A and B are shown apart, each in its own frame.
Chain A
């Protein structure tokens, strides 16, 4: 032995998973649905996604450089935020809009609250909601896919129209870039489940509670076609598998995740049925993000051998 030995306290082995590898898995899982958006909506969609990702990473880098903080862009979390934000935008928005949205998401929602792990709501969704409020007209101008209607399928349903379930499942409808293909989002979600990046509670219970709510209060009774259309549309798949499961803004306890998912299902249903909006996933998630500290407080597990106390 020529060199000095390393000394540290146990444990001396660590798992292979890292923040970096987890974020990379999320990006991989999102790629099919994002690529489908580009296929459906053309080159503009690709430019919006690219702008959104580049500006998210750039904002984080510039902010940390200016504030003399350690640079954390190589953990890919800003990349995920940028990609999710881009997938939540219609392809018709002007090119400056994703840049503004990413800047808001990264600087205001993430960095001002302390950077990765400290944001109290999902940055991508907060960015989207900011844009929805500030630039409502631009954000609801959806591209036409069949030269007839430019409304999203859920708006059509809400106004008493009908919608083809298979079009919604495979993704031949209008909407934001990343939300149209329920099939590819589901595939990405299953990939994350298999890789154990996410656990089943949030997506399964969220969608389940939402389905029950729509059967009870949707006004269509037990209409399978209607309920499935509601599940496939309005970014519910994207929200349930990729945004509600965001680690930072969801509970860390199993029971907490169950409660969180139930709240999400109820709130999404409430907004879709009883408000003017036909969607509601984004607002439901960022509102429930705010409930997380409370939910965690009441769902802490009982320590082993101290259950009685």
Chain B
């Protein structure tokens, strides 16, 4: 069995900003206004379909929208109340997405069965997987990949490692750290639930070494668990990226065309593992998550437990608003390396919202791009061992083929190259566009190939039928 080194080649050490909020215990937010549940952009794959109608009464934990494909997820209501509208609303990415709007009755009446305790050791694997699917659990680290798909690989016996990703390498975020300290039993319990699905699997809780107290605390908690261990990781961005994390924990490598299961691994974010525990052992669907509200522009940084669907503007009230006289230039959903810039605070917290980061100054606008001086820092920083300098030359002249030849599709847009660039070039932005254009071209080519194949098959069938018909006559 291979073992990891706890680190990877490349990466950067940006200012981590975690001191602002890391010692603050979580507070639970009680939503005041209506709750908004977008049908897309809170999980990867096909959008969900509403199964309630305007005027319907709904209970807390009740499913209000259904998965519509293999890769899709259910959505459950996080309060009790009435369906007020089903209409397009703005999401954190500033897109208008069909959403269910619920008027909160303030009663939090649970749906039948929600909260019932269950013993996972007495459940079959199918029941466990169904519980995860019914709860609408998705990857809460940001990608939103449906968890029931992730824990259903082709061959259960080939899974060797279940990794709970508690690296939290993204600056400013402290929600995983708070969960390690506040919810260790649910985290370890959730990990044990997943491990129980795979006969040869070992559970790993991966934590960066900038959280020594959490490491010691969890190590003490798992010392009698035969199938769970703690992997200490070197503090470095992007240590929590799936491919780098698998390498750091196991020494195995995957590329963009592979799934973690191809390397015998399943990786789930900290809060996701906790949600799995709630789903399986407490019959509680995914309807809450931890959100760090922080940044140099907020008065009181906070770690908040938030019901999904709550608007960001309400979270800000818990942080007592902006500092006096401060008007933030940029507000992000998520961390500074991979987060999304918001255009409005009237957007809902989704399953994949990890933070609300309010920045007094926008560094990007303050640093205009100049010319590349070929310093090579991007090459040293790239965790995928790419050559951003040359990829940028390709992407800026629209040379998609050259970009692909340089393995540009292996880029996962972590932003490390852009962070270190002394010429302040927008490398990641440029790669994002080229990667989208390449992916679109590939989809088009695949669709054309399929259409051609279908056409040929139809022709062959028609010819055969004509032949048969001819024979009859």
Contact = CB atoms under 8 A, between A and B. Distances in A.
Contact of A19 (B340, B379, B422): B422
A5 B14 contact: no
Contacts of B383: 304
A160 interface: no
Interface stretch (A7-15, A55-63, A138-146, A183-191): A7-15
Q: Kindly name the residue among A11, A18, A77, A116 whose own CB sees the greatest number of chain B CB atoms within 10 A.
A: A11
A49 to B, nearest CB: 23
Interface stretch (B29-37, B109-117, B250-258): B250-258
Contacts of A302: 385
A5 B419 contact: no
Nearest to A7: B341
B229 to A, nearest CB: 24
A251 B379 CA distance: 11
Contacts, number: 172
B182 interface: no
A interface residue count range (under 10 / 10 to 19 / 20 to 34 / 35 or more)? 35 or more
B387 A301 contact: yes
Interface string B411-453: 0010100111111101011001000000000000000000000
A247 interface: yes
A1 interface: yes
Given A11-B418, A252-B379, A253-B376, A6 B337 contact: no
Interface in A1-58: 1-3, 5-15, 17-19, 21-22
Contacts of B379: 252-254, 301
Interface in B371-401: 371-376, 379-380, 383-387, 389-390
A210 B380 CA distance: 26
B97 interface: no
A121 to B, nearest CB: 13
Interface string A285-308: 000000000000000111111110
Q: Which 9 pairs show the lowest CB-CB distances between chains A and B?
A: A11-B415, A305-B255, A252-B376, A303-B407, A6-B362, A7-B341, A13-B336, A247-B375, A117-B371
Given A19-B422, A254-B379, 15 more contacts: A6-B329, A6-B365, A7-B94, A8-B429, A10-B334, A13-B14, A14-B418, A19-B370, A19-B373, A72-B370, A77-B373, A304-B244, A304-B410, A305-B253, A306-B410
16 contacts: A8-B429, A10-B338, A10-B341, A11-B336, A12-B337, A12-B359, A17-B420, A18-B423, A304-B9, A304-B244, A304-B255, A304-B383, A305-B255, A305-B256, A306-B410, A307-B253
